Structure 1
Amino acid sequence: MASIFFTGSADGLGQLAAKALIEQGYQVVLHARNAERARHAMLNAPGAAHVIVGDLSDIDETKRVAEAANAWGRFDAVIHNAGVYQAPARTVFMVNTLAPYILTCLIRRPRRLMYLSSGMHLQGWASLESFTAAGGRISYSDTKLHVLMLCKAVARKWPDVYANAVDPGWAPAKMGGRGAPDDLQEGYATQTWLAVSDDPRAKVSGRYFRHRAESPYNPQADDLMLQERLLSRCGALTGVAFPA
């Protein structure tokens, strides 16, 4: 039975995707940023195997999340779902860019990796010169480009892993709001499909998906020099080097 770890699965699309996989019989480990949200997550996702607690806006806590994930065991899939939108620049940068970098580096390598990007990444800029612990002038759109760049770098460096990025669309979940126009189920269906499917279309790497189909993306993500600079800057800020 495949085991799957979801960051940011206390509510929203992360929890909906986790619940869908639990209902299919998979072993799912949740994540929440504090103990209260962890209790809420377990109550609302009956059948979840465990919940790991840690605030991804803090570098040390993010490292402890990786330690707890490794203590649980090796996962077949890790879904970097956690993200924030309306928050201070430092929090957006930490959660959306640095946390998935740290967890990718420190969690034992799974067979499949998914990174939640956004259609807003199309307006993003790599902004690597702005990398500071305070977030600088980095926007939400920039961070969602960063995570796609990270995904592309992982796919290139780890050929034994299926690493892909997902645009969930503007779904009527917590972040998108009730008035969002996209289909709620389509907002999480791609994550569950990429996590476990044997469909040849899902067993690929370095791709950008929206609603289970490959989608156009910001061409900056394919710039190998920018990818390497991203890894280097993230490593310098976090003290975590990308594994060979």
Structure 2
Amino acid sequence: MQHGDRTALVTGGARGIGLEIGRQLADQGLRVLIGARKPAAAEEACRTIGPAALPLALDVTSATSVSTAVREALELTGRIDVLVNNAGVSLDGELRPPYVDEGILRATLDTNLTGAWLMAEAVVPGMVETGYGRVVNVTSSYGSLALMDSGRHPAYRISKTALNALTRMLAAELAGTGVLVNAADPGWTRSGMGGPSAPRGPEDGADTPVWLATLPEGDATTGGLFADRVPLPW
């Protein structure tokens, strides 16, 4: 099956890295579902990308919203071949361990970990049924245990470490099914989260997630963490 017969769903796809991921996937011939909490933002993103993009109201922190959105997506396109879990938040201020803000921790985990998990639960069984799927979790080197060298942004770091663990577990569970699961670190990128002083543009941040989302049939790359298409230590 060619890319033009594939459908990708990008969460948090209305701006920044998510928008650029959607644009690059559309440029490669995929139909792209742009998920965003605000329908108007998703619609505007789709106008920017072009006719291959379809808007999808989606709040990954709500199990009801996830199930409704995936049902609507399947009604629109008939299949979801690629899932890019891009939706994410960074809410930490100057607080560092051992101190904790429970509200910030829960809100961060709800989006960065539980949201990705809910999306996988809703989408992956259909991929297994067709024998093909690509799941990309947009993460950060801040979540790498091997590279962790400070307590800055603790809730964000913990959430990405947990997302990395989810990536490994999903990859192990889905071995041999045709569904590949990988994590991508886009680097410090100019976006709503990364800010205007970041050294990388969205097109650079989107490159590795798009590469992993379009790994060809027969490729066995799964359970990996990559930055600039190069493996990083967990």
TM-score normalised per structure 2: 0.79
Q: Does the 8 Å contact 2:66/2:122 carry over to 1?
A: no
Matching of residue 47 in structure 1 with residue 51 in structure 2 = yes
Partners of 2:224 and 2:145 in 1: how far apart? 18
Relative distance call for 1:206 and 1:123 in structure 2 (3 A) is closer
Within-5 A mapping of 1:34-113: 34-71=38-75, 72-86=77-91, 88-107=104-123, 108-109=126-127, 111-113=133-135
Within-5 A mapping of 1:200-219: 203-217=220-234
Matching of residue 142 in structure 1 with residue 158 in structure 2 = yes
Match of 1:181 in 2: 199
Say which SS state the counterpart of residue 144 (structure 2) adopts. helix
Partners of 2:53 and 2:200 in 1: how far apart? 30
CA offset at residue 150 of structure 1? 0.8
Q: Does the 8 Å contact 1:194/1:203 carry over to 2?
A: no
Q: Does the 8 Å contact 2:20/2:202 carry over to 1?
A: no
Partners of 1:113 and 1:68 in 2: how far apart? 19
Matching of residue 170 in structure 1 with residue 185 in structure 2 = no
**1:164-223 CA distance string (max 9 Å, x none):** 0011111122211111123543211011111113398x6410000001111112xxxxxx
Moved more, 80-89 or 14-23: 80-89
Q: Does the 8 Å contact 2:42/2:57 carry over to 1?
A: yes
Supply the RMSD in Å over aligned alpha carbons: 2.2
Relative distance call for 1:199 and 1:170 in structure 2 (3 A) is farther
Match of 1:230 in 2: none
Match of 2:18 in 1: 14
Within-5 A mapping of 1:23-34: 23-34=27-38
CA offset at residue 50 of structure 1? 1.5
Partners of 2:80 and 2:217 in 1: how far apart? 20
Say which SS state the counterpart of residue 176 (structure 1) adopts. coil
Partners of 1:63 and 1:27 in 2: how far apart? 20
Any stretches of 5+ residues in structure 1 without a counterpart? 125-137, 218-244
Relative distance call for 1:90 and 1:59 in structure 2 (3 A) is farther
Match of 2:99 in 1: none
Match of 2:213 in 1: 195
Q: Does the 8 Å contact 1:171/1:182 carry over to 2?
A: yes
Partners of 2:166 and 2:69 in 1: how far apart? 19
Identity %: 26
Relative distance call for 1:69 and 1:153 in structure 2 (3 A) is farther
Partners of 2:183 and 2:227 in 1: how far apart? 9
Say which SS state the counterpart of residue 198 (structure 2) adopts. coil
Any stretches of 5+ residues in structure 2 without a counterpart? 93-103, 147-153
Q: Does the 8 Å contact 2:60/2:119 carry over to 1?
A: no
CA offset at residue 56 of structure 1? 1.9
Match of 2:169 in 1: 153
Q: Does the 8 Å contact 1:30/1:48 carry over to 2?
A: no
Moved more, 155-164 or 39-48: 39-48
CA offset at residue 75 of structure 1? 1.8
Partners of 1:78 and 1:163 in 2: how far apart? 9
